Amino acid sequence: MNRDWKQISTKAMDHDSVLLSDPSFDFDTAPDGAVVVPLPGLATSVPPTEFSARSVRRFLWDNRKDRAVTRDRAVIQVERGGEETTIRLGALTHRDAADRLDENHGN
């Protein structure tokens, strides 16, 4: 599965979530009940001054062989904060599935 890392990283500069299999996907038009669940352990933080499309591509490249990246529902999320910007992987899923997962893990 080939991903257009450049298109994904460029879109991540202006959006909080980007679907890796379809970077043009608009999360505002996602079906009712669709949510993005962050995946544990697949995140990095950079100072806001170092956040760039290149840092997003580097994160994707470093994790390219992880099963979470190769899934069709894989999402890259960007959380912009005051002292750091966090780049993490997530998965697009239905709210019911996310709730069951939280219940099973005691969250």
pLDDT for the residue numbered 92: 86
Q: Which domain, by its residues, includes 84?
A: 5-104
- Token look-up 């500069």 returns 13
Give the span between the Cα atoms of 13 and 7, in whole angstroms.
10
| Predicted pLDDT of residue 100 | 56
Does residue 29 contact residue 19 with C-beta atoms inside 8 Å? Answer: no
Number of domains in the chain: 1
24-41 per-position pLDDT tens digit: 988 887 777 678 888 888
- Identify the residue whose tokens are 């991903």: 3
* Sequential pLDDT tens for the chain (107 residues): 678 999 999 999 999 999 999 999 888 877 776 788 888 888 999 999 999 999 999 999 999 998 888 888 899 999 998 899 999 999 888 766 655 555 555 55
Contact 92, 73 (CB under 8 A): yes
